[in-house]
Amino acid sequence: MSEHPPVILWFRRDLRLADNPALQQACEGGQAVLPVFVLDEEGEGDWPEGAASKWWLHHSLSALDKDLRELGSRLLLLKGAADEALAKLCGETGASGVFWNRRYEPSIVARDTALKKRLAEQGVQVRSFNGSLLQSPLSVTNKSGTPFKVFTPFWKHIQNLGTREPLGKPQALAAPASWPKGEALESFGLLPQLDWADAFGEEWTPGERGGQVALAVFRERYVGKYSQQRDTPAVRGVSRLSPHLHFGELSPNQGWYAMDRQEHEPYLRQIAWREFAHHLLFHFTDTPAKPLRPEFEAFPWKPDSRLLEAWQKGQTGYPIVDAGMRELWKTGWMHNRVRMIASSFLVKHLLQPWQAGAQWFWDTLVDADLANNTMGWQWVAGCGADAAPYFRIFNPITQGERFDGGGDYTRKWVPEIAGLPDKYLFKPWEAPANVLEKAGIDLGNTYPKPIVDHPRARQAALDAYAAMKA
Ligand SMILES: Cc1cc2nc3c(=O)[nH]c(=O)nc-3n(C[C@H](O)[C@H](O)[C@H](O)COP(=O)(O)OP(=O)(O)OC[C@H]3O[C@@H](n4cnc5c(N)ncnc54)[C@H](O)[C@@H]3O)c2cc1C
């Protein structure tokens, strides 16, 4: 314990001890360190954590507290407006400084900038660091000094800039002489009332250790086959590191340095897509709500709560779409290939606004991330940076056949049609009556008939696009 005034380490989306620049700097001063997390739902602006993220956050905070206790410290939990809570905490403890790793979402940047000023006026030193991206978005611009809007030149640029090697983990943390009163984690009310998230615990281990294990397992067993298997949802071909990266239990630098620059380039490229998404959100601040390409503001969407709900529940009658939506509901995650198919189906086949899909993903994904989710949805809807052209419309039947040829993924998540032969698995409505009967399917009762007709829906999407252009 130290009698000197502490420095406050404000944990945010950097819920780890290793490779944590703010923590390292806080320790270097030799003062006591007061680790704090503030639950500030209003401070998140229009995007307070969704239900699945809250589940994750609860367990991640619990894990961080445990890890801090092993270093002789612990995590102080506070609730309410972060600026008020921190200003008050500085007053109470006489803290000489507040250190944090930056977040780059627009509303957070605005809040933190104001807080910096306020604390400085109070005589408190504020130091902030980049702990969540390979490069701070401020330092990345193209040759003309403007933000990148195309991925490939961005990727080349990032590679040329080089990256920071990961930092170690402190061996001990000097605790403050006394601990201010904090909240109990349970009082945050982050866990859902319903039993909906019960299976999440079997799928995930939130926290820094969980992230490290997931990275090591992926590095040892799977990254070598990433290029061949990353589009096959039935096999373990991808890293499933996204929630760990989102909550900062793992830094992108740790992921980057765990891999071989040449051999694992396809994987590092994906880390760079994450980086690109943050770059876009930082520079194009209204894109969570508005299309990056303004002409899409005139797109004739046809909002329909019945269609939206069928999609959310995995009851569209298109098996690969339904499989993805049910995987999402059950596990809080969906494979990237299926995210692309399911989201495309919503915006093109069902003509529902991409914002409605983004909102659902926000609430149900454990890796819900404002930058990645916004870029993903705008990419699919054709209205974002470097986006898929709108007129390229995924066919949910052939996509299923191509990426889940053996049907294992679809049969797992849509068990009521598991008995269908492969030939009809992605188009049960084409199966003859005796085949359906043999598989125990009463189409329209045990599994829905297709909610829209693919060729007609495709044409309607193209017509809507033409209407927008006109
Ligand atoms: C409509 C839509 C919405 C999405 N919403 C999110 C979201 O809210 N949060 C999220 O983290 N990802 C989102 N993605 C991107 C992608 O689907 C996930 O990052 C990926 O499926 C996570 O699984 P993984 O960790 O196994 O990925 P891996 O393939 O192992 O990739 C490694 C890491 O790279 C990053 N990454 C991979 N693909 C992308 C991508 N296309 N865009 C940005 N970063 C990427 C992720 O951080 C990921 O953990 C979305 C994609 C789409 C099409």
Q: pLDDT per residue over 448-460, tens digit each?
A: 999 999 999 999 9
Q: Is the CB of 271 under 6 A from ligand 1?
A: yes
Q: In a 3-state reduction of DSSP, which class is residue 55?
A: helix
Q: How far is the CA of 369 from the centre of ligand 1 (A)?
A: 9
Dist. CA 343–CA 352, nearest whole Å? 10
pLDDT at 143: 84
Is the C-beta atom of 411 inside 6 A of ligand 1?
no
CA dist., res. 244 & res. 338, Å (int): 20
Q: What is the pLDDT of residue 101?
A: 98
CB of 340 closer than 6 angstroms to any ligand 1 atom: yes
| Mean pLDDT value of segment 418-423 | 98
Grade residue 140 by pLDDT with cuts at 50, 70 and 90.
confident
Residue 417 has what pLDDT?
Answer: 98
| Whole-angstrom distance, CA of residue 449 vs CA of residue 442 | 10
Kindly write down the DSSP assignment for every residue of 102-133, as one continuous string. ---SHHHHHHHHHHHHHHHHTT-EEEEE--SS
Average pLDDT over residues 175-183: 94
Q: Ligand 1 pocket, 346 CB below 6 A?
A: no
- Does residue 384 have a pLDDT over 70? yes
Question: Which atom of ligand 1 lies at the shortest distance from residue 335's CA?
Answer: 21
Q: What is the mean pLDDT of residues 30-50?
A: 95
Q: Which fold has domain 7-131?
A: Rossmann fold (3.40.50)
Q: Where is average pLDDT lowest: 2-11, 159-168, 193-202, 304-313?
A: 2-11
Using the mean position of ligand 1's atoms as its centre, give its distance from the Cα of residue 78 in Å. Answer: 31
Share the mean pLDDT of the chain.
Answer: 95
pLDDT at 2: 45
Q: Taking CA 344 as the corner, what is the angle to CA 353 and CA 425, rounded to the nearest 5 degrees?
A: 135
Which CATH architecture group holds 133-165+209-283?
Answer: Alpha Horseshoe (1.25)
Please report the pLDDT score of residue 3 as a whole number.
55
Rounded CA gap, 308 and 346, in Å? 8
| Mean pLDDT, rounded, for 58-82 | 97
Percent of the chain with pLDDT over 70: 99
Q: Whose CA is nearest to atom 33 of ligand 1?
A: 271
Which residues lie closer than 8 Å to 296 by C-beta, 6 or more apart?
A: 381, 382, 383, 468
pLDDT greater than 70 at residue 383: yes
Which residue has a Cα nearest atom 50 of ligand 1?
Answer: 376
Alpha-carbon distance values, 235 to 222, 226, 246, 414 (Å): 10, 11, 23, 17
pLDDT in tens, 205-215: 999 999 999 99
Mean pLDDT, residues 169-179: 93
Q: Which atom of ligand 1 is least distant from the CA of 243?
A: 11
- Domain spans of the chain, in order of start: 7-131, 133-165+209-283, 294-469
Superfamily of domain 294-469: DNA Cyclobutane Dipyrimidine Photolyase, subunit A, domain 3 (1.10.579.10)
Tell me what the mean pLDDT of segment 366-392 comes to. Answer: 93
Whether 273 lines ligand 1, by a CB cut-off of 6 Å, is yes
* Fold equal for 7-131 and 294-469: no
Residue among 372, 377, 403 to mutate when testing ligand 1 (max atoms within 8 A of CB): 372
| Whole-number pLDDT of residue 1 | 44
Give the Å distance between the CA of 340 and the centre of ligand 1.
Answer: 10
